[in-house]
Chains A and B, each alone.
Chain A
């Protein structure tokens, strides 16, 4: 009798724990539905053609629209162009540098120096983004452009992107079977040709995934840009002058009670854009799982 009681009790706790795990998991993913749902419901109204082609309205225009119950005129064009400019510039610097450093670390793993560079990369990856904003401020805003600038914003984003790309490059390289390299060497392929014609093409999808994930990380970054690019009401492509960015616009709108409707839309757009880039990266990765 006692034995069956014992078994029954244990099986009951077992079931309870299972439900607890399932309930905990469901609770964990509720926020994602809440966030997407909230933003979609409140943000879709402002998304139209002007949202993408017009720069941000001033607070008076927004107030008048709010008073009259209309949608706020204008959009986020100055943020889009600023984001594009800075992310492009950061990619130009960070992608080649990151790829080469990643390959260097992988190729020289036996050397103490390379392992040291890898540890530095790991530390860099953990540095809070706001600190990279301070650094770009000290280096670029104070000494080079003598004022807030798109260049300073790009530099902070570059430092953020670098470790992400280095790590993903190194990890991708690690998955290439040694036999491919050995086959190339056996045929007398020079080292540099092996890298350009074999290592990089063979691991292309893995490298692309790393780049896309890094891009999706920096596209939503706000804090370092507040200290460097500052923001600008006009569309500008001058890298020595302040520019806006989509996340910076969200911050500006957030601080202006008249603009609330526009924040919902800008947040919705930024989230959808970043998440689709994220999903794209993952689908590239899963399609080419085996090199």
Chain B
């Protein structure tokens, strides 16, 4: 029976590493962020200042919180019609056909492309197109970043939405068809209402993805440490400011960047928790 005990012990020990890892992450982030919070207090969260000049150092996270929230929400808005049509295509109109399988694989492929490749492609292929429309001079900024972000999060929203739409009981839909409803009417009066919370959850989880995306955004948003002034204005997100400035940071500036990381951690954890909660309710 000793083999049993060793195995059980090993399995338990490995589960402990997750506990230690999670605790360690939170403790290290808190510890690293402490100097910044001690210096600026809770004002750090609402202040848009970012001045690394020695002597008059002042840091605040608001510009980056704003940048993150604006790009992610905008990406979500662009993503919704795309993910909505693909999930209806896969789980309703072409359900179970070869076409649906092909579309699903293609959408899944979008999730496989590395973030930095999206960033590079956005920079050299998409940005010139946006400049050509005349809406923007440089092509950098919130809108460019959001557009690429939207493409990146579509597969996450689609796969979950499609799964939930395909779980809607056939009896419900058949009952509506038998009353003479058209397919569009069935979709809007039966499928969507009964899959509503699952679809919302899939978009919330996609939002969680967008909040933490780093490389593609860093390469496209224009990296200005201010609250973005418009759709085509440059800005910075919480993830992109860390990626850009962590390497040469030290002392108070590093602590401020870790504090930005801590806030990002909390925001993504909250959004993901919300999404999971809705799914659990739904299931």
Chain A: residues with CB nearer than 8 A to chain B? 10-11, 13-14, 17-18, 20-25, 27-29, 31-32, 34-35, 38-39, 96-97, 100-101, 103-105, 107, 113-114, 117, 120-124, 126-131, 133-135, 137-139, 159, 162, 166, 190-193, 195-196, 216, 219-223, 226-227, 230, 247, 250-251, 254, 260, 263-264, 267, 270-271, 274-275, 278, 282
Residue among A10, A28, A129 with the highest chain B CB neighbour number at 10 A: A28
Contact of B183 among A14, A31, A271, A278 (CB under 8 A): A14
Q: Report the separation of the CA atoms of residues A174 and B256 in the bound assembly, to the nearest whole angstrom.
A: 44
For A105, give the chain B residue with the smallest CB separation: B15
A127 close to B265 (CB less than 8 A): yes
Q: In terms of DSSP, what is the predominant structure of the interface of chain A?
A: helix
Find residues 265-283 in chain B having any chain A CB closer than 8 Å to their own CB.
265, 268-269, 272-273, 276
Indicate whether B142 reaches chain A with its CB closer than 8 angstroms: no
Contact partners of A139 in chain B: CB under 8 A: 24, 28
- With A29-B107, A254-B219, A275-B109 known as contacts, the answer to whether A135 contacts B114 (CB < 8 A) is no
Given A28, A100, A223, A271, which contacts B11 in the complex, CB threshold below 8 Å?
A100
Given contacts A22-B89, A193-B3, 8 further A-B contacts (CB under 8 A): A13-B182, A13-B184, A24-B89, A31-B151, A104-B15, A126-B208, A138-B31, A192-B6
Nearest CB of A to B49, in Å: 22
Contacts of B119 in A (CB 8 A): 254
Q: Are A270 and B239 in contact (CB under 8 A)?
A: no
Contact of B82 among A24, A38, A107, A134 (CB under 8 A): A24
Q: Which residues of A contact B120 (CB under 8 A)?
A: 250, 254, 263, 267
A34 / chain B contacts, CB cutoff of 8 Å: 121, 125
Residues from 205 to 220 in B contacting A, C-beta threshold 8 Å: 208, 211-215, 219
**What are the 4 A-B residue pairs with the smallest beta carbon separation, nearest first?**
A220-B114, A128-B212, A24-B85, A192-B7
State whether A267 and B121 are in contact (beta carbons under 8 Å apart), knowing that A100-B11, A114-B15, A122-B276 are contacts in the complex.
Answer: yes
Chain B window 104-131, contacts with chain A (Cβ cutoff 8 Å), 1 for yes, 0 for no:
0111111011111111110111000000
Give the CA-CA distance A123 to B277 in the complex, in Å: 12
* A127 to B, closest residue via Cβ: B265
Q: Are B113 and A271 in contact (CB under 8 A)?
A: yes
Closest to B182 in A: A14
Residues of A within 8 A of B106 (CB): 29, 32
Measured CA separation A101–B15 after assembly (Å)? 5
Known A-B contacts A23-B85, A247-B114; the reply to A131 vs B265 at CB < 8 A is yes
Q: Tell me, in angstroms, the Cα distance from A128 to B213 when the chains sit together.
A: 7
Are B121 and A101 in contact (CB-based, < 8 A)?
Answer: no
- CB-CB nearest in chain B for A99: B14
How many residue pairs, one in A and one in B, have C-beta atoms under 8 Å apart? 240
Taking the complex as formed, is B235 at the interface, i.e. its CB lies under 8 A from any CB of chain A? no
B88 at the interface (CB under 8 A from A): yes
Evaluate whether A126 and B109 lie within 8 angstroms (CB atoms) in the complex, with A11-B182, A38-B121 already known: no
Who on chain A is nearest to B242 by CB? Answer: A130
Point out the residues of chain B lying under 8 angstroms from A39, CB to CB: 117, 121
Q: Smallest distance from the beta carbon of A86 to chain B beta carbons, Å? A: 15
Contact B112 A278 (CB under 8 A): yes
User: B93 near A18 (CB under 8 angstroms)?
Assistant: yes
Q: 29 A-B residue contacts at CB 8 Å?
A: A10-B182, A17-B183, A18-B93, A21-B88, A24-B84, A24-B86, A28-B83, A32-B109, A38-B121, A38-B125, A96-B14, A104-B15, A120-B18, A123-B22, A124-B25, A130-B243, A135-B25, A135-B28, A162-B18, A220-B113, A220-B114, A220-B115, A221-B114, A223-B115, A227-B242, A247-B116, A260-B124, A263-B120, A275-B109
| A216 and B212 contact, CB distance less than 8 A | no
Residues of A within 8 A of B31 (CB): 138
Cβ contact within 8 Å between A104 and B247:
no
Complex Cα distance, B123 from A10, in Å, reads 44
Task: Say yes or no for B169: interface residue by CB 8 A criterion.
Answer: no
Tell me if A138 and B89 are in contact (CB < 8 A). no
Q: State A104–B8 Cα separation when bound (angstroms).
A: 8
Would A121 and B182 be within 8 Å (CB), given that A21-B88, A222-B215, A227-B247 are in contact? Answer: no
Chain B residues in 8 Å Cβ range of A263? 120
**Per a CB cutoff under 8 Å, which of B4, B85, B115, B272 touches A28?**
B85
Nearest CB of A to B204, in Å: 11
**CA of A166 to CA of B246, assembled, Å:** 30
